[in-house]
Amino acid sequence: MEKYIIIRSDNKSISKPMNREEAIYTVKKYDKQGISSYIVSEDEGNRIVKDGNFYTPKWE
Protein backbone atom coordinates (compact mmCIF):
# COMPACT_ATOMS: atom_id res chain seq x y z
CA MET A 1 0.00 0.00 0.00
CA GLU A 2 1.31 3.43 -0.96
CA LYS A 3 2.02 5.88 1.88
CA TYR A 4 1.89 9.67 1.85
CA ILE A 5 3.50 12.43 3.88
CA ILE A 6 2.08 15.86 4.75
CA ILE A 7 4.27 18.95 4.67
CA ARG A 8 2.98 22.03 6.48
CA SER A 9 3.85 25.38 4.97
CA ASP A 10 3.76 27.35 8.24
CA ASN A 11 6.50 25.49 10.10
CA LYS A 12 7.84 23.16 7.37
CA SER A 13 7.10 20.11 9.53
CA ILE A 14 6.93 16.70 7.90
CA SER A 15 4.44 14.10 9.12
CA LYS A 16 4.87 10.40 9.62
CA PRO A 17 3.88 8.24 6.62
CA MET A 18 0.12 7.62 6.47
CA ASN A 19 -2.43 6.11 4.14
CA ARG A 20 -4.35 8.14 1.56
CA GLU A 21 -7.49 8.65 3.67
CA GLU A 22 -5.50 9.86 6.70
CA ALA A 23 -3.50 12.25 4.51
CA ILE A 24 -6.61 13.79 2.94
CA TYR A 25 -8.31 14.12 6.35
CA THR A 26 -5.21 15.81 7.81
CA VAL A 27 -4.86 18.28 4.93
CA LYS A 28 -8.54 19.22 5.26
CA LYS A 29 -8.10 19.70 9.02
CA TYR A 30 -5.12 22.01 8.45
CA ASP A 31 -7.06 23.93 5.79
CA LYS A 32 -9.87 24.62 8.28
CA GLN A 33 -7.19 26.05 10.59
CA GLY A 34 -5.88 28.28 7.78
CA ILE A 35 -2.67 26.27 7.38
CA SER A 36 -1.48 25.40 3.88
CA SER A 37 -0.15 21.89 3.51
CA TYR A 38 0.89 19.54 0.74
CA ILE A 39 0.59 15.79 0.24
CA VAL A 40 3.66 14.09 -1.23
CA SER A 41 4.59 10.46 -1.69
CA GLU A 42 6.63 8.72 0.98
CA ASP A 43 9.60 8.56 -1.42
CA GLU A 44 9.42 12.30 -2.07
CA GLY A 45 9.05 12.97 1.67
CA ASN A 46 12.18 10.94 2.37
CA ARG A 47 14.05 12.91 -0.32
CA ILE A 48 12.93 16.17 1.27
CA VAL A 49 14.07 15.02 4.72
CA LYS A 50 17.46 13.99 3.28
CA ASP A 51 17.98 17.16 1.19
CA GLY A 52 16.17 19.59 3.45
CA ASN A 53 14.65 21.23 0.36
CA PHE A 54 10.94 21.54 -0.27
CA TYR A 55 9.97 23.55 -3.28
CA THR A 56 6.45 24.94 -3.03
CA PRO A 57 4.49 23.90 -6.13
CA LYS A 58 3.59 26.73 -8.45
CA TRP A 59 0.34 26.37 -10.36
CA GLU A 60 0.41 28.19 -13.68
Cα(first)–Cα(last) distance of the chain, in Å? 31
Residues in the chain: 60
Reduce the DSSP state of residue 59 to 3 states and report it: coil
Q: Give pLDDT, residue 40.
A: 92
Dist. CA 21–CA 11, nearest whole Å: 23
- pLDDT at 30 (0 to 100): 95
- The whole-number average pLDDT for the span 38-51 is 89
> What is the tens place of the pLDDT at every residue in 11-39?
888 899 999 999 999 999 999 999 999 99
